[in-house]
Amino acid sequence: MSENHKIIEIEVLRYNPESDDEPHLEVFKVPFSDDMSVLQGAQYIKDNLDGSLTFRWSCRMAICGSCGMMIDGIPKLSCETFLRDYYPKRIRIEAMAHFPIEKDLVVDLSGFIAKLESIDPYIIPKEPRTLEQGEYLQSPEEFNRYIQFTSCINCALCYAACPQFGLNHEFIGPGMMALVQRYNLDSRDGGSAQRMQLVASEEQGVYHCSAVGYCSEVCPKHVDPANAVNVNKANAAKDYFLHFLSPKGGSK
């Protein structure tokens, strides 16, 4: 930060659970250089203007998925969003939409984590193999089927973009469905039927999605979670009808 600094106004949605009944906006004047991210703007505020400002961050390079926030109303990772792109206008940062605000820019992700556990996000081997039988082999074609869905960093921006999740917190949501696809499409995995219980569930399942598609639009890793959700609508329907034909098919 050497060259002559410009000053940008950052408007922050503040909420202190110990003293506030509801969130309010507070404006800070932040000197910035062209290489400064919105996250660095928040860090400047915390270090120099108000030490009580609370937010999450870790890697600063769009891989940890911690620093998501609403930037001028759009869910973005603050580490890869630059102040220069908003100057000279005032920029507004708020906690990720649709999640309860814990404090300032920090949201309560406990529901998100509970869902993450509920989908069995690991490979459930199709057939048990002993060490002597060697490793599970996979062709490049089989690998390509799911590789896109491995890019998810659990940043939850897709949930902040999903009005159906905002209206119904039970909905399993886009990010989880991307992870379901990551494992269901893996040739080594045999857990699809087990995961279908949740995918097709009336309370939480994919049919709560109305194909708004904004989740895929905001995904910083181009995972296309909307595709994972919508493809599974067809899978859930197929599973439902299979249930009538075969005692083995169908999850319910």
Binding site for another protein (CB under 8 A): 15, 17-18, 22-23, 73-74, 97-98, 100-102, 108, 141, 163, 166-167, 210-214, 216-217, 224, 226-227, 230-231, 234
Nearer to another protein, 17 or 125 (CB): 17
Nearer to another protein, 98 or 182 (CB): 98
User: Scanning the structure block, which residue is given the tokens 């009944």?
Assistant: 21
**Minimum distance of another protein from residue 144's CB (angstroms):** 8
Which letter does DSSP use for residue 120 in this model?
A: -
The backbone torsions φ and ψ at residue 102, rounded to the nearest 5 degrees and listed phi first, read: -80, -55
Contact 212, 164 (CB under 8 A): yes
Nearer to another protein, 13 or 64 (CB): 13
Question: How far, CA to CA in Å, does 139 sit from each of 121, 126, 136, 188, 213?
Answer: 22, 16, 10, 11, 31
**Minimum distance of another protein from residue 216's CB (angstroms):** 6
**Minimum distance of another protein from residue 130's CB (angstroms):** 34
Nearer to another protein, 30 or 97 (CB): 97
Q: Taking the chain, what is the end-to-end CA distance rounded to the nearest angstrom?
A: 61
Which amino acid is residue 94, in one-letter code?
E
Cβ neighbours of 65 (radius 10 Å): 19
**Minimum distance of another protein from residue 252's CB (angstroms):** 23
